[in-house]
Structure 1
């Protein structure tokens, strides 16, 4: 009788999984996210190994926009092999969507020394003249990052589409954001002013060869 009952329970569970796969998938991911959240809540950046900076060399910063899953599967292991770390400009509203990184994958990179930057919550288009709405997008993203314990980089903005309306800048300063990266420059936000940080930007798109990228780096 017990064996029959056990078999009945197993069949019932299997049928429910087949009938409601989305519900069980959300439950599974919810459990995983809770575990990750607990790990991050006990994580301290002070535990990361100190990396000395050679002042005689030009520093290079790698920033991967959007949080594509290929960064985790391809770029992360390659850069780890050579001792490099990068930054992810994440769109919280796209986390775990198809072809984007999951919360646990972002957490793995973060605890390995990668910074998670603010790329707005939804990455909406045609927002250049809608400063108040864009500000809300950055604030919402910062709230999500803080709530999920990605506290390094929450005040560093990477603008969607590389655009930033000048009228938005004082609003961001007032809300405590520290920097803005557009398509071709970096702005440092301090008190009541913004200043340009001299930097050369190299966009490593699919049509840029490794030879071209290397030549650009050597020219810095």
Structure 2
């Protein structure tokens, strides 16, 4: 845990700020909960997932940063001693139905990769590459300055389609990967596709289909990403992007049933060229 070596100096600094820079003091005071969380995060505290087995690799990835991920999925992941990953859209932080900074920080400290899902997640950006790269860079800067930086250079493209010109812009700005609708483009060195398959779990996906999917991946030596959007029993039958809590539990149980063959890893571990 982060600790100040000279607490007297810290207190003195706050007193000086309050007397001579009242606006700065007000900003700190108004955001004291966030400030406390930031100061408490130290990279030595993080749970590091370092895979050294020959098992097939699976990454569990949640899109959008919805609050149900923290409320419903996180306890299930934790209780089964697993790890997962989540896309983060900074402009939606604290919006109704989305995770706040405290919740995201809790996932980060537990070892989850927090991926860059752009700052605004606007629609119809395929031909607006210059605007989109600016939005992605803005999200990265936000994540880096808020200590959510382990995977801020891994991008999830809004709505899955990536313009080849955007790939060039991302590589020039030192981003390492792009998650599209059905694959991951690696840019750390030569531009190439990752050897993996993606399955999106929604209200029409059956557990049997999922089990068949991971069996095919194992047979053909593919890594796999299991994608979830929203978890919600109330809207399960009305929106194709939702997955019920019960189905999510069964998907996790299926993975655990095959734990002698499959290993659940972080996104960064999955795309590492060391694999």
Shorter-chain TM-score bucket reads 0.7 to 0.9
Query: Does the aligned pair in 2 maintain the 1:72–1:105 contact within 8 Å?
Result: yes
**Which 4+ runs in 1 deviate beyond 6 A?**
26-29
Question: Partner of 1:54 in structure 2?
Answer: 53
* Cα displacement (A) at 1:52: 4.2
* Cα displacement (A) at 1:167: 0.9
Unaligned runs of 5+ in 2: 1-26, 218-275
Question: Partner of 1:217 in structure 2?
Answer: 214
* Cα displacement (A) at 1:207: 2.0
- Structure number with greater CO (CA < 8 Å, separation at least 6) is 2
Match of 1:161 among 159, 162, 183: 159
Unaligned runs of 5+ in 1: 1-25
Question: Partner of 2:198 in structure 1?
Answer: 201
Question: Partner of 2:10 in structure 1?
Answer: none
CA distance in 1, matches of 2:166, 2:142: 21
CA distance in 1, matches of 2:45, 2:132: 33
CA distance in 2, matches of 1:194, 1:79: 33
- 1:23-102 alignment runs, 5 A limit: 30-40=31-41, 43-45=42-44, 47-48=46-47, 51-55=50-54, 57-102=55-100
CA distance in 1, matches of 2:172, 2:210: 37
* Cα displacement (A) at 1:80: 1.1
Q: Secondary structure at the match of 2:94?
A: coil
Query: Does the aligned pair in 2 maintain the 1:117–1:158 contact within 8 Å?
Result: yes
RMSD value over aligned CA atoms? 1.9
Aligned length: 191
Q: Deviation digits for residues 81-127 of structure 1, max 9, x if unmatched? A: 11111111100100111000010000000000001110000000000
TM-score, with length taken from structure 1:
0.81
TM-score, with length taken from structure 2:
0.66
